[in-house]
Amino acid sequence: MRRFNWADYTGSDSFANNQVGIVNDVVLDMNDDLTRMVLNPDVTVRSRGVIEKCSFCVQRLQESKLKAKKESRPLEDTDLKVACQQSCPTNAIVFGNANNQHSAISITRKENPNRQFYVLEQLHVLPNVSYLAKVRNLEEEKKEA
């Protein structure tokens, strides 16, 4: 998902060297330490005008890696859920280690070999993100029409 970042979450306009035009009181309040505490320190937010895209929740991944390292064990795909996976009510989003034959992503790929496709596969860019195509019976759709 991509979106244009219109907001100034970091309050960079509140610093004297960055002020352009008239700056309102809300922007100036962003320089206050108490107000800055509402920002999540685990999420990187770039300044206004930068196009944001999915980072696959790298902050959650790093946190889970550190926890697994402290426990002296390898990272498992059940250790974390990225935000989109956590919020999906149908469990349609699956992440994991594609090299582990017992991970959720490997099992999903094995069960659906004819439905699986990669974006720009014909360009041989070797993406590691795969999608499952919708199953449709075109013969029955033709009969109904």
Specify the amino acid at residue 101: Q
Which is more confidently placed, 56 or 107?
Answer: 107
Instruction: Map tokens 């206004």 to a residue.
Output: 48
> Looking at the predicted structure, is the pLDDT value of residue 115 above 70?
yes
Give the per-residue pLDDT at 138. 76
pLDDT in tens, 17-47: 666 666 667 666 666 666 666 666 666 556 6
> Looking at the predicted structure, is the pLDDT value of residue 65 above 70?
yes
pLDDT in tens, 81-103: 998 899 999 988 998 888 999 99
Instruction: Map tokens 């033709």 to a residue.
Output: 142
pLDDT in tens, 118-143: 888 889 888 888 999 888 877 877 77
CA torsion angle for 115, 112, 124, 61 (degrees, to 10)?
120
Beta bridge partners of 51: 4
CA atoms within 13 A on the CB side of 135: 5
Q: Give the DSSP letter of residue 116.
A: E
Number of helices (H) and strands (E) in the chain: give both, helices first: 6, 4
Average pLDDT of 63-67?
93
pTM over 0.85: no
Give the per-residue pLDDT at 11. 54
